[in-house]
Amino acid sequence: MTGRNALLRPRDTDALRDEMRRLSKALEVPVLFGGEVHAGSLLLTEFAGTRTNGLRGLAVSSQSGLGGRVIDRLRPAAVSDYRSADAITHHYDRPVLGEGLRSVLAVPVVVDSIPRAVLYAARRDSTPMGGKTADAVVAACRRLAAEIAIRDEVDRRTEMLSLARTGARSAPDAASIEELRSIHAGLRELGASLDSVTSRQAQALSDRLARVIGGDTEVRDQACLSRREIDVLALVAVGCANAEAAKRLSLGAETVKSYLRSAMRKLGAHSRAEAVANARRMNLLP
């Protein structure tokens, strides 16, 4: 859904395919399909249960057909008999009816009021696509929207990191340094809530940011602190109390205290401020 940071960001269609696979296991829905939305146009690329290739690669424009309707209105829509439905245009009757589909539900994946994908569930009879099925498809699209929003935020912060690296030769002012430290803490926080692969990417970016601000290319004694100890220190470094750090990292307050005590011991520090300062000297924090 975006061409930025192509080497870092997994394909969003892969996440869509994962949600379709999950729905296939949880529901008795004969057909699932969908695709990403770019510039108001939906491209159908992902399919499960189809018998023909008529829908493959189909481009659905805004306001056209059922998919175009949900792109335009940003909310789910369904028809129990596609052929006779009068609430939609019939630009795509040939591929839809050629697949034998009658009852169809379309749900948009919306991020910041922008349609990013559409997921369809369909049957070859006129059984309405409501109740448990509709709820499950809507829930899948919400999960997908949350995943895409997180990926977008990682991309945004990566771009800011890239800009910081480009300008690393000139010393940033104090306000810029504090903003970069806030970005670093945010990346650590994001990494704590992501899947394992994306989490490692976010944490690798935060490590690079720490080195850029520290003016070094190496992390000295990187194994000194655990990932969680750095997560906690990163938030402490931007002024978070233990309770706030616990909330942002989805940890218990006592767990945060334990990580902080362990980090202070490893760093030979007698206070939170000294622990942060020592970690910065080691380029573990910006």
- The contacts of residue 278 (CB under 8 Å, 6+ apart) are 267, 268, 269
Model pLDDT for residues 123-180, shown as the tens digit of each residue: 999 999 888 999 999 999 999 998 898 888 877 777 776 666 565 545 556 676 777 7
95 and 205 together in one domain:
no
184 and 105 together in one domain:
no
pLDDT at residue 43, as a whole number: 96
- The reply to whether 180 falls in a domain is yes
Residue 7 pLDDT greater than 50, yes or no:
no
In this structure, what CATH number is given to the domain that contains residue 202? 1.10.10.10
- The reply to whether 155 falls in a domain is no
- The reply to whether 16 falls in a domain is yes
Q: Are the beta carbons of 182 and 238 closer than 8 angstroms?
A: yes
- The reply to whether 26 falls in a domain is yes
22 and 135 together in one domain:
yes
Token readout for 229 is 């100890």
Single out the residue of 204, 112, 216 nearest to residue 158, CA to CA.
204
Residue 9 pLDDT greater than 90, yes or no:
no
- The reply to whether 4 falls in a domain is no
145 and 172 together in one domain:
no
31 and 120 together in one domain:
yes
Number of neighbours of residue 160 by Cβ within 10 angstroms? 15
| pTM over the 0.85 mark | no
pLDDT at residue 184, as a whole number: 76
Residue 218 pLDDT greater than 60, yes or no:
no
Q: How far apart are CA 60 and CA 64, in angstroms?
A: 7
Single out the residue of 200, 198, 250 nearest to residue 15, CA to CA.
198
Single out the residue of 196, 185, 197 nearest to residue 248, CA to CA.
185
- The reply to whether 116 falls in a domain is yes
139 and 171 together in one domain:
no
pLDDT at residue 284, as a whole number: 84
- The reply to whether 19 falls in a domain is yes
pLDDT at residue 212, as a whole number: 62
21 and 130 together in one domain:
yes
Residue 125: give the domain boundaries: 12-149
The greatest distance separating any two alpha carbons of the chain, rounded to the nearest whole angstrom, comes to 75
71 and 188 together in one domain:
no
In this structure, what CATH number is given to the domain that contains residue 91? 3.30.450.40
Among 87, 117, 149, the domain boundary falls at: 149
92 and 123 together in one domain:
yes
pLDDT at residue 161, as a whole number: 66
Q: What is the DSSP string of 169-216?
A: TSPPPHHHHHHHHHHHHHHHHHHHHS-HHHHHHHHHHHHHHHHHHHT-
- Confidence band for 206, pLDDT divided at 50, 70 and 90: confident
132 and 19 together in one domain:
yes
172 and 222 together in one domain:
yes
205 and 139 together in one domain:
no
Q: Higher pLDDT residue, 98 or 208?
A: 98
Structurally, how many domains does the chain consist of?
2
- The reply to whether 162 falls in a domain is no
